[in-house]
């Protein structure tokens, strides 16, 4: 029986020498790999009391929506600035080279709602930290954060200390 990491393609020296790029698309392309990823994320939420799943575009949508569907929860998208049609709240965060802005609809999280964040990858944790700030600014409570993959060498968990974090696969390097 294959493990989830067996479905991940590793590309050496991309985007620069010394980096091993972990490609999640090979999980998505294989029915068994996709099923295994979704099942592991779903199983990590067993017996957890929560109201809604939040996922950032685009791969957070891919993994978050099936979880929301399977557990009969709503799904709230987090998008890049300017992509949502109604009134939004926004948060700027740092990238490796520059910054970015993400947004959520202002009415997407109700005060007191318990929220699970789902995404494909945690690297430095900046995007997820910004998502947490958005959720909390709307009165939501982040009760768990789930990732398919974690690049532990980039120390993203440090930005998420105080929150329960689950990663289906952990790679020690960058």
> CA-CA distances (angstroms) from residue 31 to 7, 37, 41?
10, 10, 16
Task: Determine whether 3 is an active site residue.
Answer: no
Q: Is the C-alpha dihedral spanning 57, 46, 107, 160 positive or negative? A: negative
Q: Label each residue of 82-128 as H, E or C.
A: CCCCCCEEEEEEEECCEEEEEEEECCCCCCCCEEEEEEEEECCCHHH
Are 166 and 147 contacting, i.e. CB atoms less than 8 angstroms apart? yes
Catalytic residue of the set 42, 57, 59, 141: 59
Task: Determine whether 141 is an active site residue.
Answer: no
Catalytic residue of the set 96, 129, 164, 172: 96
**Enzyme catalytic residues:** 59, 96
């Amino acid at each position: 029986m294959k493990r989830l990491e067996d479905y991940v393609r590793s590309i050496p020296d991309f985007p620069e020498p010394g980096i091993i790029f972990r490609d999640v698309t090979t999980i998505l392309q294989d029915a068994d790999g996709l099923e295994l990823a979704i099942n592991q994320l779903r199983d990590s939420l067993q017996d957890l009391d929560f109201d809604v799943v939040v996922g950032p575009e685009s791969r957070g949508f891919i993994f978050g929506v099936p979880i929301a569907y399977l557990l009969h929860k709503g799904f709230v998208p987090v998008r890049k600035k300017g992509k949502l049609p109604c009134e939004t709240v926004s948060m700027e965060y740092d990238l490796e080279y520059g910054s970015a802005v993400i947004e959520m609809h202002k009415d997407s999280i109700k005060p007191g709602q318990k929220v699970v964040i789902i995404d494909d990858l945690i690297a430095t944790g900046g995007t997820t930290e910004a998502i947490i700030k958005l959720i909390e600014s709307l009165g939501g409570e982040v009760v768990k954060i789930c990732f398919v993959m974690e690049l532990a060498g980039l120390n993203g968990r440090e930005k998420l200390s105080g929150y329960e974090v689950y990663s289906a696969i952990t790679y020690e390097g960058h």
